[in-house]
């Protein structure tokens, strides 16, 4: 048991570093956008940085495909080591790239390259990490242990914001805009090396080891062909992800810019509100994951679907009004509570849908495609709507995506009772 928990911890810490590197881009976009793009108004520069943020998402399906195949063939551990190396390279490139004033269009071009590397990394990280944590956990606590994927994912966001808060106190706004924004990317590159060391000590999962011990068939089809034999499961991943990813990126990634650019809060106030709400959200993940182990996955997903469909427009409308920091924190806290119905268990639900031989690919590829289309464009669509003077249209877009996922939650089976992982474990125990 101790070795299992140690391996889950090592995998989770690596996940934290990966997502810190991914989110530090968004957290510091307000500061580095002017360095990479020609002079203009803040919304135009944020649109440019958000477009590159979306470009990174385009690589996530490729990462989900390549790393998923690699994880299902070479092992979960090998794929997790590869993903953290890619993230390290992307963060280091951003930290060292000269500004637009020095190298012209080469600056945004290198920024795009760095985000492509990071997108490839994160695309592979999600499916492999979800698979690893779900396979390492025991059946009774699978929801609880797999929820630590989003505990560490949110912790990565918190760490990015904590570094931002520290730099805001230590440096002047001019220093942050000129060179201070490079510090968090350098921290991310160094932290990735620590994560690499920790992941080298992880154990491989029993599910993958059993698969490796099984003699191969004479004519085994490709993993992609096997995946296509599970269309219902693939479509379920797409449907349950669509609303969750749009809500997640709206209330965790975009909301900081929303509070500054729409509600009129200072950058420091927006960072503080986001940090506090994310801290509570992180603590909610294992509680909701444990709840799913008791009452099932489907009721928890339905809580998210109903809540997001009914509350998104009122919450964003309230957050858009200039007001107190306390009120903004309260609204955002309610959004985080609703969101946790999805984030806490979406990884285990997807992993429980697929057999071992294609689990990482089945989780990672359809998820990454959906996130690229819906999650990666959420911030850009929000800023575009604001730029066109129809910001409220975005509120209804988020609502529509949540409602579409709610239909999937309503019709799907509860994977706690139909888990492929549990079925395979039971079968192995009888042999």
* Domains of the chain: residue spans and CATH: 2-206+223-430 (1.20.1250.20)
* 28 vs 428, residue with greater confidence: 28
**pLDDT recorded at residue 49:** 65
Q: Within its chain, how far is the Cα of 2 from the centroid?
A: 28
Instruction: Calculate helix-pair angle for 76-96, 2-27, nearest 10 degrees.
Output: 30
Helix (H, G, I), strand (E, B) or coil at 235: helix
pLDDT tens by residue, 187-201: 988 888 888 888 888
Q: Within its chain, how far is the Cα of 179 from the centroid?
A: 27
pLDDT band at 218 (very low <50, low <70, confident <90, very high): low
pLDDT band at 60 (very low <50, low <70, confident <90, very high): confident
**pLDDT recorded at residue 395:** 95
Q: Within its chain, how far is the Cα of 281 from the centroid?
A: 14
**pLDDT recorded at residue 296:** 95
Q: What is the average per-residue pLDDT within 50-61?
A: 72
pLDDT band at 213 (very low <50, low <70, confident <90, very high): confident
**pLDDT recorded at residue 10:** 75
Most confidently predicted of 54-68, 152-166, 342-356: 342-356
Q: What is the CA radius of gyration of the chain?
A: 21
Res. 94: pLDDT tops 60: yes
Mark 6-24 as b/e (b = at least 16 C-beta within 10 Å): ebbebbbbbbbbbbbbbbb
Q: Which of 9-23, 171-185, 271-285 has the lowest mean pLDDT?
A: 9-23
pLDDT band at 40 (very low <50, low <70, confident <90, very high): low
Distance CA 428, CA 431 (A): 5
The label of the residue with tokens 């999600």 reads 126
**pLDDT recorded at residue 36:** 75
Q: What is the average per-residue pLDDT within 307-334?
A: 93
């Amino acid at each position: 048991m101790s070795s299992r928990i140690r391996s889950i911890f090592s995998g989770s810490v690596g996940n934290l570093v990966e997502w810190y590197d991914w989110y530090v881009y968004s957290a510091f976009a307000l500061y580095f956008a002017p360095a990479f793009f020609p002079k203009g108004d803040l919304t135009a520069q944020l649109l440019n940085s958000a477009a590159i943020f979306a470009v990174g998402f385009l690589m996530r399906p490729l990462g989900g495909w390549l790393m998923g195949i690699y994880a299902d063939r070479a092992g979960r551990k090998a794929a997790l080591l590869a993903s953290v190396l890619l993230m390290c390279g992307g963060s280091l490139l951003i930290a060292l790239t000269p500004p637009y004033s020095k190298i012209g269009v080469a600056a945004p071009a290198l920024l795009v390259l760095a985000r492509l590397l990071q997108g490839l990394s994160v695309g592979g990280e999600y499916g492999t990490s979800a698979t690893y944590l779900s396979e390492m956990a025991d059946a009774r606590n699978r929801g609880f242990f797999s929820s630590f994927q989003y505990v560490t994912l949110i912790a990565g966001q918190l760490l990015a914001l904590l570094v931002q808060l520290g730099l805001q106190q230590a440096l002047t706004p001019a220093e942050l805009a000129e060179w201070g924004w490079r510090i968090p990317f350098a921290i991310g590159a160094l932290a990735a090396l620590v994560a690499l060391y920790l992941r080298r000590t992880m154990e491989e999962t029993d599910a993958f080891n059993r698969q490796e011990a099984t003699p191969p068939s004479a004519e085994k089809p490709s993993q992609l062909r096997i995946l296509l034999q599970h269309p219902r499961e693939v479509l379920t991943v797409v449907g349950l992800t669509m609303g969750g990813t749009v809500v997640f990126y709206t209330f965790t990634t975009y909301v900081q810019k929303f509070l500054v650019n729409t509600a009129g809060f200072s950058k420091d106030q927006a960072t503080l509100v986001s940090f506090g709400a994310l801290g509570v959200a992180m603590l909610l993940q294992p509680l909701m994951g444990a709840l799913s182990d008791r009452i099932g996955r489907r009721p928890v997903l339905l809580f998210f679907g109903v809540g997001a469909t009914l509350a998104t427009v009122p919450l964003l409308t309230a957050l858009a009004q200039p007001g107190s920091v306390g009120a903004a924190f309260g609204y955002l806290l309610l959004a985080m509570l609703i969101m946790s119905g999805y984030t806490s268990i979406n990884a285990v639900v997807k992993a429980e849908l697929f057999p071992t031989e294609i689990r990482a690919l089945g989780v990672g590829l359809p998820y990454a495609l959906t996130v690229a289309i819906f999650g990666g464009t959420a911030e850009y669509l929000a800023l575009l709507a604001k730029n066109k003077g129809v910001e409220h249209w975005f509120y209804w877009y988020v609502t529509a995506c949540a409602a579409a996922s709610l239909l999937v939650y309503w019709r799907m089976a509860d994977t706690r009772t139909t888990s492929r992982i549990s079925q395979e474990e039971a079968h192995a125990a009888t042999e």
